[in-house]
């Protein structure tokens, strides 16, 4: 008989699961508020309609469920055969009739949740590989999914903003983004200051850095490449742009 509750008892993991489930519910709410005709509208992502975002979130749940099956069985089942296949799948999903697109989101989310729920305690430590070829424990998939549902709920351009994303999610997102910049060296001469949390990221070695600052939600929105609302900039790059906030370095 299959248990109706999570097999893991790790409090940190249970909290992460709750956050991912709340994010999924938030995405569902923003999606369900849209009429079928409104699905055709633009998302906040260049070149992507709301249909593309919805298809991506549905296929992402299936891809992460494959990683959980991998962790459970030891049989390697990658997220996607390749990034080309993933992109092609999203383009195809975006053409589905509205009811099929909504089912894709609903069913894939339920399926992933069952896979997470039934994964035995010790299997959460098993290593799987992401599409970016990172080796991670299965537990990391919870954050991978959380990040997707919360941020892409905003991308649906249906009234959600970064201010709606929980602080812990925003903080971890900013860590990921600034970590990616650092790993690539694209943050040279850039300092990012979160004014309402007293946090500083970026290049600590520069004598005259460009300083981008603002409250957490606004800084993460900027860092994720989603706009400049609520952030301000000073220093060389801002002066060169006539006081405008420079674009954040790319992070994916
Ligand atoms: Zn995504």
Residue 238 confidence (pLDDT): 85
Domain at 11-160: CATH architecture:
Up-down Bundle (1.20)
Ligand 1 center to 147 CA (angstroms): 8
Domain extents in the chain: 11-160, 167-240
CATH number of the domain located at residue range(s) 167-240 in this protein = 3.30.1050.20
Ligand 1 center to 59 CA (angstroms): 10
Residue 146 confidence (pLDDT): 98
DSSP calls for the chain: ---SS-S---HHHHHHHHHHHHHHHHHHHHHHTS-TGGGGSB-SSTT-BHHHHHHHHHHHHHHHHHHHHHHHH-----S-S-HHHHHHHHHHHTTS-HHHHHHHHHHHHHHHHHHHHHS-GGGGGSEEE-TT--EEETTHHHHHHHHHHHHHHHHT-SS--GGGS-HHHHHHHHHHHHHHHHHHTTTTTEEEEETTTTEEEE-TT-SS-EEEEE-HHHHHHHHTTS--TT-EEESHHHHHTTTPPPPPPP--
Question: What integer best gives the mean pLDDT of the chain?
Answer: 94
Residue 242 confidence (pLDDT): 84
pLDDT higher than 80, residue 230: yes
Cβ < 5 A residues, ion ligand 1: 148
Residue range 153-157: average pLDDT?
98
* pTM (two decimals): 0.94
Ligand 1 center to 209 CA (angstroms): 31
Residue range 186-210: average pLDDT?
90
Q: Which two tokens stand for residue 239?
A: 């002066």
| pLDDT bucket at 2, cuts 50 / 70 / 90 | low
Residue range 141-150: average pLDDT?
98
Reported as a single tens digit per residue, the pLDDT across 30-59 is 999 999 999 999 999 999 999 999 999 999
pLDDT higher than 60, residue 1: no
Residue 3 confidence (pLDDT): 59
Decide if 144 contacts 151 (C-beta within 8 A): no
Most confident of 29-38, 77-86, 232-241: 29-38
Ligand 1 center to 215 CA (angstroms): 24
């Amino acid at each position: 008989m299959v248990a109706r509750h999570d097999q893991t008892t790790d409090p940190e993991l249970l909290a992460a699961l709750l956050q991912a489930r709340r994010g999924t519910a938030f995405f569902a709410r923003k999606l369900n508020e849209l009429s079928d005709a409104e699905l055709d509208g633009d998302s906040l992502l260049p070149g992507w309609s709301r249909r593309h975002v919805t298809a991506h979130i549905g296929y992402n749940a299936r891809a992460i469920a494959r990683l959980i099956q991998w962790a459970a069985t030891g049989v390697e089942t990658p997220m996607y055969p390749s990034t080309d296949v993933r992109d092609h799948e999203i383009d195809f999903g975006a053409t589905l009739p509205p009811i099929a697109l909504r089912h894709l989101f609903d069913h894939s989310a339920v399926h992933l949740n069952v896979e997470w729920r039934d994964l035995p305690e010790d299997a959460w430590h098993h290593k799987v590989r992401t599409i970016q070829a990172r080796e991670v424990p299965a537990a990391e998939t919870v954050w991978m999914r959380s990040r997707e549902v919360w941020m892409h709920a905003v991308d649906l351009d249906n009234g959600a903003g970064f201010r709606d994303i929980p602080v812990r999610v925003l903080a971890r997102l900013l860590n990921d983004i600034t970590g990616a910049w650092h790993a690539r060296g694209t943050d040279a001469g850039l300092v990012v200051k979160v004014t309402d949390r007293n946090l500083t990221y970026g290049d600590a070695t520069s004598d005259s850095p460009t300083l981008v600052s603002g409250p957490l939600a606004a800084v993460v929105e900027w860092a994720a490449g989603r706009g400049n609302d609520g952030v301000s900039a000073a220093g060389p790059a801002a002066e060169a742009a006539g006081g405008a906030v420079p674009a954040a370095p790319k992070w994916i």
